[in-house]
Amino acid sequence: MPKTITIRLKDDIYKLFAEAAQADNRTISNLIETAALNNIREQQFVDDTEMAEIMSDINLLARIRQGSKEAANRKGQFVE
């Protein structure tokens, strides 16, 4: 079920959102929701360029595999 939230925007920021939403023929709410979701997804996932860089780093992949094995065998400790 959709939830309603309230945000406070300065007049100039509201105007930017309103203009952008109107240009895309959608509501300000939809514009903000889409922008927020895109931002979250960018932060949570690795893009294709980053993944290619990770996959090309043999030493990093070896350390990841070793760490995964140790975690599966419950070796190691948490560092705070």
Q: Does residue 1 fall inside a structural domain?
A: no
Q: Does residue 80 fall inside a structural domain?
A: no
Q: Does residue 29 fall inside a structural domain?
A: yes
Mean pLDDT of 42-49: 83
Contacts of 18 (CB under 8 A, 6+ apart): 28
pLDDT in tens, 53-74: 999 999 999 999 999 998 888 8
Q: Does residue 68 fall inside a structural domain?
A: yes
| Range of the structural domain that residue 18 is part of | 9-74
| C-alpha distances in Å from residue 68, one per residue of 35, 42, 49 | 34, 24, 23
Domain count, the chain: 1
Mean pLDDT of 34-53: 88
Per-residue 3-state assignment (H helix, E strand, C coil) for the chain:
CCCCCCCCCCHHHHHHHHHHHHHCCCCHHHHHHHHHHHHHHHHHCCCHHHHHHHHHCHHHHHHHHHHHHHHHCCCCCCCC
pLDDT in tens, 10-33: 999 999 999 999 999 999 999 999
